[in-house]
Amino acid sequence: MTELKYIENLLNKYPDIFFDDGLKKELLCVLEKNYANRHYHSLTHIVNCLENLEEVIVKRKESEKPLKKIEQEILLSAILFHDIIYGEGKDVSDEKMSALLFEEFISSYLNNQNFIASVKELILSTEHLKDAFTPIYVSQNLVDLMADIDLSILSSTPNEYKIYSDNVRKEYAYLPDIDYSKGRIKVLISLRTKASNGLLYKTDEYKSRNKKALLNINNELIYLKDKLKQLDNRIPNL
């Protein structure tokens, strides 16, 4: 099954929001266009997030705190659009641009302002290196779940993590190794701090994976720091 077909089948489960064939057709075109030609922040990442969401829905259905249908719809919509703009934000962040694109798209079909504001808020919450995000329209649990799903790759198997880190590097192929390594190290140190404090993942479904993420992050940091040393040795003293 192709990624777009998987998404189309999932949309059909939520007719209250994705009720119009024209909406679904246009949405799939927008997703295909905007997520094309990327190595990590692609439709593969989106489908991985959606698969994680479906697993959580099933688990919580059997618990005392099942996800309400509207919460599922908000999460689904936010996942679809949260990386739709990537690597373009300068004066305005990618997350803000993605949230605005969602609003622009869905407003042609839907006039539910609370729903739109809720989805935009979840998209904005995925700016993971910012300070703690305080939601207005959605619960903190929904914000935490969105973050855990988006960052689930960090606690994947070593092989999956290696593919992920290699693909992130490819997305920054325009940067010299030394610049990329320094920037990536800063990002990883921030994530490591959260993981080492047990705060990278916060929901019941994911918080046991903090240690696994910490191991992957530390291994990548070791690799990048060794690479920086090698690069520094090649730079002549001027």
User: Which CATH code is given to the segment(s) 3-150?
Assistant: 1.10.1300.10
Per-domain boundaries in the chain: 3-150, 154-234
Per-residue pLDDT tens listing for the chain (238 residues): 799 999 999 999 999 999 889 999 999 999 999 999 999 999 999 999 999 999 999 999 988 889 999 999 999 999 999 999 998 756 789 999 999 999 999 999 999 999 999 999 999 999 987 777 889 999 999 999 999 999 999 999 999 999 999 999 999 999 999 999 999 999 999 999 999 999 999 999 999 999 999 999 999 999 999 999 888 776 544 3
31's CB contacts (< 8 A; 6+ apart) are 4, 7, 43, 46, 80, 84
Position 6: which residue type? Answer: Y
Closest CA to 53 of 33, 35, 74, 32: 74
CB-count burial class (<10 Å; 0-12, 13-18, 19+) for 139: exposed
Closest CA to 218 of 154, 169, 131: 154
* Cα 214 from Cα 212, distance rounded (Å): 5
pLDDT at 234: 65
- The conformational region for residue 87 under phi > 0 = left, psi -120 to 50 = alpha, else beta, is left
Task: Tell me the whole-structure pTM to 2 decimals.
Answer: 0.94
